[in-house]
Amino acid sequence: MNDDLQITPGCTVRMHFSLALEDGTVMDATHDGEPMTFTLGDGTLIEGLELALIGLRAGDRQSLSIPPETGFGYPDPDNIHEMPLSEFSPELQPEAGLIMSFNTPDGDEVPATILAVEGDRVRVDFNHPLAGHEVVFSVEILDVRPPESDPEPAT
């Protein structure tokens, strides 16, 4: 463990974290499982969460509020779509409030919230479930490794 190394873009970080709404409702956390390991800047975390880590060192703990502007953004009405009920699996019928995963045409998995089921139509909100919310991001940095340097060219 390198206690002196500050987190900068390209560093590999191992940490425990929790992401909660302002009312304390925990939306995601690693404290009861394996810590998260990622490279700062690789897209694993949204920019606002990454910015909160810059300058921290192994052993640091931090908790801060992230507003929608630098967090998960604001809901976009264009991200609400109607879909035929027939497109849903009979084993997992949609109901209002349910958060489900959908595959994009590119093969990515995205969360969406079922807003309503009306007859044979389902209204689905593809905005991130945390869009429009201020979130509290709490971290405990376990380890920081320096960016991997490019190998020296052969001479």
Do 68 and 136 lie in one domain? The reply is yes
Q: In tens digits, what is the pLDDT along the chain, a chain of 155 residues?
A: 556 899 999 999 999 999 999 899 998 999 889 999 999 999 888 888 898 899 999 999 999 999 999 889 999 999 999 999 999 988 888 999 998 988 888 888 888 999 999 999 999 999 988 899 999 999 999 999 999 865 555 55
Amino acid at residue number 51: L
Q: What is the pLDDT of residue 148?
A: 82
- In the three-class reduction of DSSP (H, G, I as helix; E, B as strand; rest coil), residue 57 is classed as coil
* Residue numbers of the domain that contains 96: 77-125
Do 67 and 138 lie in one domain? The reply is yes
Count of structural domains within the chain: 2
Do 110 and 136 lie in one domain? The reply is no
Q: How far apart are CA 59 and CA 40, in angstroms?
A: 17
**E strand map for 11-134:** 12-21, 26-29, 36-39, 61-66, 80-84, 99-103, 109-118, 121-125
Q: What is the pLDDT of residue 1?
A: 52
The enclosing domain of 96 has a CATH number of: 2.40.10.330
Do 117 and 95 lie in one domain? The reply is yes
Whether 65 contacts 22, CB under 8 Å: yes
Structure tokens at 39: 């490279």
In sequence order, what are the beta bridge partners of 138?
A: 18, 63
Q: How far apart are CA 110 and CA 20, in angstroms?
A: 19
